[in-house]
A = this chain, B = another copy of it.
Amino acid sequence: MRTSIATVSLSGPLTEKLTAAARAGFDGVEIFENDLLTSPLTPEEIRTRCADLGLTIDLYQPMRDIEAVPDDEFARNLRRAEHKFRLMRRLGADTVLVCSSVSPNAVDDDALAAAQLRQLAGLASEYDIRVAYEALAWGRHVNTYDHAWRIVEAADHPALGLCLDSFHILARGSDPKAIEDIPGEKIYFLQLADAPQLAMDVLQWSRHYRCFPGQGGLDVAGFLGHVLRAGYDGPLSLEIFNDVFRQADAATTAVDALRSLLVLQESTGVHASPAPVVPTGVAFAELVTTDVEPTAELLTALGFTRTGRHHGKPVDLWEQGEARILVNTGPAARRDGTVLAALGLESPDPAAAAHRAEALLAPVLPRRRTPGDVPLSSVAAPDGTALFFCATRRPELPSWTEDFDPTGQEADGHGIRHIDHLALTQPWHQFDEATLFHRGVLGLDAQDSVDVADPYGLLRSRAVSTADGSVRIALGVGPGPGDDLVRPQHIALACDDLVTTARRFSEAGGHLLSIPANYYEDLAARYGLPEEEWSVYQKLGILYDRDAYGTLRHCYTRTVGRVFFELVQRDGGYRGYGAPNAPVRLAAQRAAAY
């Protein structure tokens, strides 16, 4: 179906918004009145600019407080409307959005509302314009779609129809099923927005917290199904008021926006993207470093062995069990210190996974291949992490490990089995985008987000994972813009016997983050752990958590550059990430940094 986006959803001046929408691949835009008023371009210039960019102007919006008002006020409203109809002709826009009135002067009189809307539509039709009437969730007398439809039906004018907005309908808890009873041709326009479940004042909620479909908690896909069964065939348009998007880069937001419509169409069955190829494990994590010694020391102490060297690039492969870490000291190491720059995702069909990612607008990264390399496709996640789709030593496919010349070194290790999860700090402006990306592009499931107290602000964390937990990524975001560039990332390594692994790490010269004694006294009080147990944990700096399924024991290495490691032992099917212990860990890291 055709896709459209309201200019209010994107940041910057109107011309930047239009360019961003066009480059992302949208077919059209809704022009928000304020964006026109603040633009130095004339309406004719805006029309030309849109045409040059291949965008149609699908809607001009909004007209407010038009209907169900006293005669003299309505006469003024009509004069105002006629000004706007003339403007729309100059713009080349043929549909105008009229929001149900919030004016204190509006009266609760459906017949009057219908008569006045009929008159407005009559005037509009002289300019070949259609009026799309929308029930605002906080409209004074008209605030549900069925009420708006009764008025439109009563007005009975060929230039008057409805605009439906998923937010206004779902946020009030209205049942969208009866949309199917509305003739499709009377649904002039469809606006789609999601929102997190916040249970706040609906006006504030709408103005500040809307997000793209699939990023929030509303059933936008179910809603769209009803609208399509009604016979609607106009554009799917996004109208998102969001405090964060207002500050974010318009080009990035526009791509994110269009991706949300692709995923939405897929889940509603109206558009088939290539099927998701869910990864089955983490093939490797790649550290890029300017400072290889402390990284190598840390990996050695953790029990990793340097098993291979890339045949064409300064990249080492370190292994222990199924955990694999690449250490890259090549030209990509422009940044200071050590960063987690890439993930290899074990894929049942790497080519199909890359195809899916590309279809969902993931930026495909240029291949830094040297002659003889195994072909590897990669895309950039919203935080800039490169995601490689790959196969590791599977007979039917070339393995990325073949690019590494064996060092011949072998070692027993310290009991680390595989990479349990990765914790990646996201740009503040793109946290919701990151979740949708990992769900849509990689086919991971998202868990609820949790707040975690750092000494200097609340962090938000949301895990995405496969159903079996073979791939787990904890997406985190700090309290303000910018700190994603300094906040640590980490790699969690799974073992079966944490006490033994942690001891071996310490004996090999590794330093575990030390945890305050007060924590262990609380552990004793909270879980009744015997002293002989918690005193061992205290000595090593091991934290403990329980959920409904099992227990977690975990501890942390010191930070090298921006990266640290966690060692985790999950028992009995524990599903979480130790979030209750995160404030303790964060405070200890702050203290260690002084």
User: Looking across the interface, which residue of chain B has its beta carbon closest to that of A588?
Assistant: B38
- Whether B455 and A11, one on each chain, are in contact in the complex, defined by CB atoms closer than 8 angstroms, is yes
Using A76-B528, A246-B479 as known contacts, say yes or no to A38 and B204 having CB atoms under 8 A apart: no
> Is A177 part of the contact surface with B, judged by Cβ < 8 Å?
no
A79 contact set on B, CB distance < 8 A? 525, 528
> Is A411 part of the contact surface with B, judged by Cβ < 8 Å?
no
| CB < 8 Å neighbour of A516 from B37, B199, B584, B590 | B37
With both chains docked as a complex, state the minimum distance between the C-beta of A511 and any C-beta of chain B, in angstroms.
Answer: 16
Task: Select the stretch in A39-47, A117-125, A141-149 that faces chain B.
Answer: A39-47
A516 contact set on B, CB distance < 8 A? 37-40
Task: Select the stretch in A80-88, A289-297, A327-335, A494-502 that faces chain B.
Answer: A80-88
A42 contact set on B, CB distance < 8 A? 517-518
A482 contact set on B, CB distance < 8 A? 482
> Is A12 part of the contact surface with B, judged by Cβ < 8 Å?
yes
With both chains docked as a complex, state the minimum distance between the C-beta of A250 and any C-beta of chain B, in angstroms.
Answer: 10
Interface centre among A37, A79, A458, A590 (most CB of B within 10 A): A37
> Is A457 part of the contact surface with B, judged by Cβ < 8 Å?
yes
With both chains docked as a complex, state the minimum distance between the C-beta of A567 and any C-beta of chain B, in angstroms.
Answer: 20
- Whether A456 and B199, one on each chain, are in contact in the complex, defined by CB atoms closer than 8 angstroms, is no
| CB < 8 Å neighbour of A525 from B80, B200, B479 | B80
- Whether B456 and A247, one on each chain, are in contact in the complex, defined by CB atoms closer than 8 angstroms, is yes
A522 contact set on B, CB distance < 8 A? 33, 37, 83
Using A83-B524, A201-B198 as known contacts, say yes or no to A453 and B34 having CB atoms under 8 A apart: yes
> Is A243 part of the contact surface with B, judged by Cβ < 8 Å?
yes
**Which residues of A (412-459) have their CB < 8 Å from a CB of B?**
451, 453, 455-458
Query: How far apart are the CA atoms of A204 and B201 in the complex, in Å?
Result: 12
**Which residues of A (39-93) have their CB < 8 Å from a CB of B?**
39-40, 42-43, 76, 79-80, 83-84, 87
- Whether B13 and A518, one on each chain, are in contact in the complex, defined by CB atoms closer than 8 angstroms, is no
> Is A587 part of the contact surface with B, judged by Cβ < 8 Å?
yes
A83 contact set on B, CB distance < 8 A? 521-522, 524-525
A80 contact set on B, CB distance < 8 A? 525-526
Query: How far apart are the CA atoms of A13 and B456 in the complex, in Å?
Result: 8
> Is A375 part of the contact surface with B, judged by Cβ < 8 Å?
no
User: Looking across the interface, which residue of chain B has its beta carbon closest to that of A10?
Assistant: B455
- Whether B480 and A247, one on each chain, are in contact in the complex, defined by CB atoms closer than 8 angstroms, is yes
With both chains docked as a complex, state the minimum distance between the C-beta of A359 and any C-beta of chain B, in angstroms.
Answer: 31
- Whether B37 and A519, one on each chain, are in contact in the complex, defined by CB atoms closer than 8 angstroms, is yes
Using A479-B247, A583-B34 as known contacts, say yes or no to A456 and B11 having CB atoms under 8 A apart: yes
> Is A591 part of the contact surface with B, judged by Cβ < 8 Å?
yes
Query: How far apart are the CA atoms of A504 and B481 in the complex, in Å?
Result: 44
Query: How far apart are the CA atoms of A237 and B87 in the complex, in Å?
Result: 59
> Is A36 part of the contact surface with B, judged by Cβ < 8 Å?
yes
- Render A265-297 as a binary contact track against B, CB cut-off 8 A, 1 for contact: 000000000000000000000000000000000
- Render A541-568 as a binary contact track against B, CB cut-off 8 A, 1 for contact: 0000000000000000000000000000
User: Looking across the interface, which residue of chain B has its beta carbon closest to that of A524?
Assistant: B83
User: Looking across the interface, which residue of chain B has its beta carbon closest to that of A79?
Assistant: B528
User: Looking across the interface, which residue of chain B has its beta carbon closest to that of A525?
Assistant: B83
With both chains docked as a complex, state the minimum distance between the C-beta of A64 and any C-beta of chain B, in angstroms.
Answer: 11
| CB < 8 Å neighbour of A457 from B11, B525, B587 | B11
- Whether A584 and B243, one on each chain, are in contact in the complex, defined by CB atoms closer than 8 angstroms, is no
Query: How far apart are the CA atoms of A521 and B451 in the complex, in Å?
Result: 48
A36 contact set on B, CB distance < 8 A? 518
Query: How far apart are the CA atoms of A518 and B525 in the complex, in Å?
Result: 68
With both chains docked as a complex, state the minimum distance between the C-beta of A478 and any C-beta of chain B, in angstroms.
Answer: 9
- Whether B199 and A38, one on each chain, are in contact in the complex, defined by CB atoms closer than 8 angstroms, is no
- Whether A453 and B40, one on each chain, are in contact in the complex, defined by CB atoms closer than 8 angstroms, is no
| CB < 8 Å neighbour of A455 from B13, B33, B204, B526 | B13
A-side residues, CB < 8 A to B, are 11-13, 33-34, 36-40, 42-43, 76, 79-80, 83-84, 87, 198-201, 204-205, 207-208, 243, 246-247, 451, 453, 455-458, 479-482, 516-519, 521-522, 524-526, 528, 583-584, 586-588, 590-591
Name 29 interchain pairs, CB-CB below 8 A, sorted by A.
A12-B456, A34-B453, A37-B583, A38-B519, A38-B583, A38-B586, A38-B587, A39-B587, A42-B518, A43-B518, A80-B526, A83-B522, A87-B521, A198-B200, A198-B201, A199-B204, A200-B200, A200-B205, A207-B451, A208-B458, A246-B457, A246-B458, A246-B479, A247-B457, A247-B479, A247-B480, A480-B480, A481-B481, A482-B482
